[in-house]
A = this chain, B = another copy of it.
Amino acid sequence: MQQGSVGYVKTKKHEINKKIELKSGKKLGPIQIAYETYGKLNKEKTNAIYVCHALSGGAHAAGINKKTKREGWWNKMIGPGKAIDTEKYYVISSNVLGSCKGTTGPSSTNPATGEPYGTDFPLIKIDDMVKVQKKLIKQKFGIEKLLAVIGGSMGGMQALKWAKKYPNHIQHCIPIATTARSSPQQIAFNEVGRRAILSDPNWNNGQYYNKKAPRNGLALARMIGHITYLSDESMREKFGRNLQNKQKPSFDLETDFEVESYLNYKGKSFVKNFDPNTYLYLTKAIDYFDLTNGGQTELQEAFNHIKDVNFLVIAVSSDWLYPPYQSKEIVRALEANDIEVKYSEIRSSYGHDAFLLEKGQMKHLINSYLSEIKVSDISENNIPLIKKDSSIKEASEKIIKSGQTHLPVVSQNKKIKGIITAWDISKAVAQQHKDLEEIMTKEVITATEDESITSVTKKLEKNNISALPVVNQQKEVIGIITSDIITQLIGKEKPSTEQR
């Protein structure tokens, strides 16, 4: 087990019993959804990050699968101390609708026939994938609001769709190496891949599950894909014009160059673990993705209902399949709506695949972005308060009843006057104080809603305290932020549990 790994993991299943209506108008159900989770969901359920995979991925994003012994597709990024730090965040990763890695798709059994769906499976859109993901977090985990949704390529489309479809259910959206609408070039590459599968005689109109699969077609599609995931430069660095196990060209139609051998190998190994029909369905979903409704609306209109989602948009300098200009289009559309957005371009020669590989830059970008989470993102708001003229008995009863260790003391008009802890109550009993004012801390350090978590953490550490009342501009208490919540997000060691 590597250091920083989430260790061995198991893919689990959740079933959505009721049929859902798809964007095509068709209904589909029941739906099984394969998922994995890493890290620990905090009590408040405010630290969940949804990771969305690209075309060929699955639920197995991190760690090592117990059964297959395979590493997760984003293992470089997810784990203790990594870009998506499982010591702070609860990471949920699921296989998309229409795929073949555990979630219902064309290779799943159609309950109506007892046979694999094949092309009876309805066409799906990115929207449908996200709809299913939303049901998973609600039904399975009872999560109301995700801290973030993150993904690259097709995963980035899902992240964008989350922000558009469920703007009140996510706080941060991190689309990487993606676009707001598939370009004709992207569609063209997908179409050639599909055509390769469709023209393979073994495709048999999608009913090949008990026969020979259209492996040649799928391998070809994957080979084309692979070229688009790499940059010209990275291919030169990786392969050059090296020959494959020979001193000079063989002057026949066989493989001469390393790059040919690599592509053929990639194509062949891909077909062992991927369903050709899924390739057709997912590439169609990618092609359909278009936040401008076929150009009927401006991109900025796609985001004009979004209020409280913050964005980190990441592109890769050498990505020619989803070039940076497409990410910048998203950024401009968000800015036009005064939505908070940060744009970063990974400097890499890897091409599109850089989002799977550049762990150093990704860690820096994502860590520093998520560290800028604001107090309002994670503070508790329905907290008990106590009026300053209450008795110590009343205060102690409130502490016990609410389970809160810290009780803000407020004036009649809710303005902060002090803070009192269980430890203060003990002190009052020991020293026989009667009034709250005698034992409460009066010089209360507070936080504001807009304050960054980095800043709050510094205050907690500097003053050796474990909670800050959150106040608005009128100094009215509107919530509390505790080191317990922050610890799971930011720090690894708890500050002292005492005020003072």
Q: A191-B255, A191-B260 provided; 19 other pairs, C-beta below 8 A?
A: A123-B252, A184-B238, A184-B258, A187-B241, A188-B226, A188-B227, A188-B259, A191-B223, A191-B259, A192-B263, A195-B264, A199-B219, A201-B201, A224-B224, A232-B320, A241-B290, A241-B295, A248-B294, A256-B287
Q: A232 CA to B183 CA in the complex, in Å? A: 8
Q: A303 CA to B284 CA in the complex, in Å? A: 49
A192 proximity list for chain B (CB < 8 A): 220, 223-224, 227, 263
Q: A185 CA to B232 CA in the complex, in Å? A: 6
A257 proximity list for chain B (CB < 8 A): 184, 187, 191, 287
A194 proximity list for chain B (CB < 8 A): 253
Q: A253-B280, A257-B184, A260-B187 are in contact. Are A220 and B236 (CB under 8 A)?
A: no
A323 contacts chain B at the CB level, 8 A cutoff: yes
A259 to chain B: closest residue by CB: B184
A247 to chain B: closest residue by CB: B294
B198 touches A253 (CB 8 A): yes
A223 to chain B: closest residue by CB: B192
Number of interface residues of A (CB under 8 A): 60
A473 contacts chain B at the CB level, 8 A cutoff: no
A369 contacts chain B at the CB level, 8 A cutoff: no
Which of B122, B240, B320 is within 8 Å of A295, CB to CB? Answer: B240
A contact set with B: CB distance below 8 Å: 24, 26, 119, 122-123, 181-185, 187-189, 191-192, 194-196, 198-199, 201, 216, 219-220, 223-224, 226-227, 230, 232, 235-236, 238-241, 243, 248-249, 251-253, 255-260, 263-264, 267, 280, 284, 287-288, 290, 294-295, 320, 323
Can you spell out 14 A-B residue pairs with CB atoms less than 8 angstroms apart?
A123-B251, A123-B253, A181-B241, A185-B230, A188-B235, A192-B220, A192-B263, A195-B220, A224-B224, A232-B323, A249-B288, A256-B284, A256-B288, A257-B287
A216 touches B199 (CB 8 A): yes
A223 proximity list for chain B (CB < 8 A): 188, 191-192, 195
A122 proximity list for chain B (CB < 8 A): 251
A295 proximity list for chain B (CB < 8 A): 240-241
A256 proximity list for chain B (CB < 8 A): 284, 287-288
A224 proximity list for chain B (CB < 8 A): 192, 224
Q: A233 CA to B381 CA in the complex, in Å? A: 50
Residue of A185, A235, A259, A264 with highest tally of chain B CB at under 10 A:
A185
A119 proximity list for chain B (CB < 8 A): 253
A253 proximity list for chain B (CB < 8 A): 119, 123, 194, 198, 280, 284
User: How far, in Å, is A189 (CB) from chain B's closest CB?
Assistant: 6
A267 proximity list for chain B (CB < 8 A): 195
Which of B196, B240, B255, B260 is within 8 Å of A220, CB to CB? Answer: B196
A189 proximity list for chain B (CB < 8 A): 227
